[in-house]
Amino acid sequence: MQRVYGIALWLALIVPAGGSQALAQVKVVENESPLTPQQTAVLPLLEQLQEAILSDDKSVFLALIGSTPALESLKERLADSATLYSCIIFNTTCVRSILKGEGERRTRLKQNPQQAAALLRTGQVFVSVRDFLEKHKGEMEVTFQNVPGPQIQAELHIPRRPDSADVLPPFGEYESLTVEFLRSDGAWKIVKLFPEPYQIVLSLM
């Protein structure tokens, strides 16, 4: 079975009078099988990940990602707010501007008109991960996927549409965010991050 456990995440960040942010509340809803110890261990990390994105806390966000050479290179790009990799997660206006600019450039140079049109169209509808999570605050669920090896793969998603298995999301939109964790040096770290929005954008560039 693909779905192991459903978890609804209450993503509302409560800001008390003192100004400090409380942790996002987690509501666990049983589905088919109890969580494994490994899945239980990464739940707080999923919560931290979402809170860091919603609060634009890049220091916490980057600390959750592993430290292989490839991941260190990715973290450098994520730390730079001007890069496409960072914009996809944190800044809708930025990523739309990049898509629009590239679409206009290809249109002007008459390079691949169909892809230029797709860039311009995506630049009108794409939203950052941060805005996606903000829009669906209180709706998000988690499905743990059965994957081989020591990794733990979690899919953050809005409630499934009845036709989601057969009908793709609307053009330029996504409905889920996959995160993969691997235990290294005694701690669980992210080794795969949000392929869904990255695939939409990078496939056009």
Q: Specify the pLDDT at position 61.
A: 98
pLDDT at 1: 35
Nearest to 125 by CA among 197, 176, 178: 197
Q: What is the mean pLDDT of each run of 10 residues along the chain (205 residues)?
A: 40 29 40 80 95 97 97 97 97 98 97 96 98 94 88 92 92 96 95 97 95
Assess if residue 35 is contained within a domain.
Answer: yes
Rounded to the nearest 5°, which phi and psi values hold at 135?
-65, -35
How far apart (Å, rounded) are the C-alpha atoms in residues 90 and 127? 9
Q: How many domains in the chain?
A: 1
Instruction: Let me know: does 180 contact 169? Beta carbons within 8 Å.
Output: no
| Phi, then psi, of 179 in degrees rounded to 5 | -130, 135
The answer to whether residue 69 sits within a structural domain is yes
Residue 127 lies inside a defined structural domain of this protein: yes
Instruction: Residue 61: give the domain boundaries.
Output: 6-202
Please say whether the beta carbons of 144 and 180 come within 8 A. no
Residues facing 190 on adjacent strands: 65, 181
The answer, as to whether pTM is greater than 0.75, is yes
Q: What is the dihedral of CA 193, 197, 203, 205, to 10 degrees?
A: -100
**Among 160, 149, 192, CA closest to 31:** 160
> Would you state the pLDDT for residue 6?
43
In this structure, the number of other CB atoms found within 10 A of the CB of residue 75 comes to 18
Examine residue 1 and state whether it is found in any structural domain, yes or no.
Answer: no
Domain for residue 34, yes or no? yes
